[in-house]
Amino acid sequence: MNWEHVRATIKGAWKSLTVWFAGVLAAAPIVLPMVQENFRDFAPYIPDALESKVMQAVALVIVLLRIHTTTSLAEKSGK
């Protein structure tokens, strides 16, 4: 295993918009426990179509961020 490449990839991840965006999405339910605890109360007011559109928008943003990224994470680190 090339540890220099692994270190460069991790360092580059800190500079990646895609990694930051995905990290914020992954952390949101943990960071916002009020929403998580009360989701059943909010669910009847969220139409299925809106929920689907939100997920499509999130997927589109991730794809657009990845397309915008032209370098690998290891190259982003600047070694």
pLDDT value of residue 36: 67
pLDDT tens-digit series, residues 57-71: 887 888 788 777 777
Domain ranges of the chain: 18-70
Q: Are 17 and 71 in contact (CB under 8 A)?
A: no
Q: Of 19, 16, 20, 12, which Cα lies nearest the Cα of 74?
A: 12
pLDDT value of residue 46: 67
Whether residue 29 is predicted with pLDDT greater than 80 in this model: the reply is: no
pLDDT value of residue 51: 62
Question: Tokens 């007011």 belong to which residue?
Answer: 45
